[in-house]
Structure 1
Amino acid sequence: MSSTMTHKGQTARIEFDDRDNILVGRLVGITDVVSFHAESVAELRAAFEEAVDDYLETCARIGKAPQQPASGKMMLRVAPEVHSAALMAAQAAGVSLNQWAARVLGEAARA
């Protein structure tokens, strides 16, 4: 089982740990390690919000900007054949390569 939670602009991936019979979460999209766990969904939500609040407070206290998930800008390197095929697909769909790639990536990320 896997799911996500969001609080104050931070998102966490949630998984069930069958071995320990607990729910475990970790913030995604940042390199700082922020994790939490609980035995119920209600406890997990509280632990998640506490972890995010603590992370933001700690960043403020030490004068560090909290990391935010992706900016929305991305640079990709792909094989020329892939680039060409993607460009043709975008043109066939009547959209820019950027619009086409954003749609395809969005669909794949939701899958």
Structure 2
Amino acid sequence: MKYLDYKGYTGSIEYSQEDNLLYGKVLGIRGLISYEGETGQQLEQDFKEAVDTYLNDCKATGKKPEKPFKGSFNVRISATLHQKAALLAMETKTSLNSLVEEAIRSRVTQEPV
């Protein structure tokens, strides 16, 4: 899936066959910022306008805008896997965070099969 990017915000691209309309929402934040368009160009323009409106509204109300994908998240795994990962991190003289980051980077950048 391709995404839209603007001012640090990422937007989804969806298609409604029923409405013959492209639509999406900003990803990685709790608030709902949605947009739509009949063409890709209209969708992208509405996405940018939606992000700008959100940022302007936050500024006008003195609210801090949500930052998408802050670089911190909780992961729930089995105690056994947690133990194995922690021990491997200690053996390789690295942090558990670094070990997990390396594993995710390896998986995310892996070429599709």
Range of TM-score over shorter length: 0.7 to 0.9
Note the aligned Cα RMSD (angstroms). 2.5
Amino acid at match of 1:45: E
Return closer, same or farther for 1:109/1:17 CA change in 2, 3 Å cut-off: farther
Deviations 1:77-96 (A, max 9, x none): 42211213334665788854
Q: What residue is the counterpart of 1:50 in the other structure?
A: 49
Q: TM-score, normalised by structure 2?
A: 0.78
1:21 offset after TM fit, Å? 1.6
Segments of 5+ residues of structure 1 without an aligned counterpart are none
- Whether the 8 Å contact between 1:3 and 1:15 is mirrored in structure 2 is no
Q: Which residue of 2 aligns with 1:100?
A: 99
Q: Map 1:81-92 to 2 at 5 A.
A: 81-87=80-86
Bigger drift between 9-18 and 90-99 goes to: 90-99
* Cα distance change on mapping 1:41 and 1:107 into 2, 3 Å: farther
How many residue pairs match? The answer is 110
Cα deviation for residue 50 of structure 1 reads 0.5
Per-residue CA deviation, residues 68-108 of structure 1 (Å, 9 max, x unaligned), is: 11321233342211213334665788854322311333455
Q: Give 4+ residue runs of structure 1 displaced > 6 Å after superposition.
A: 91-94
Structure 2, unaligned runs of 5 or more: none
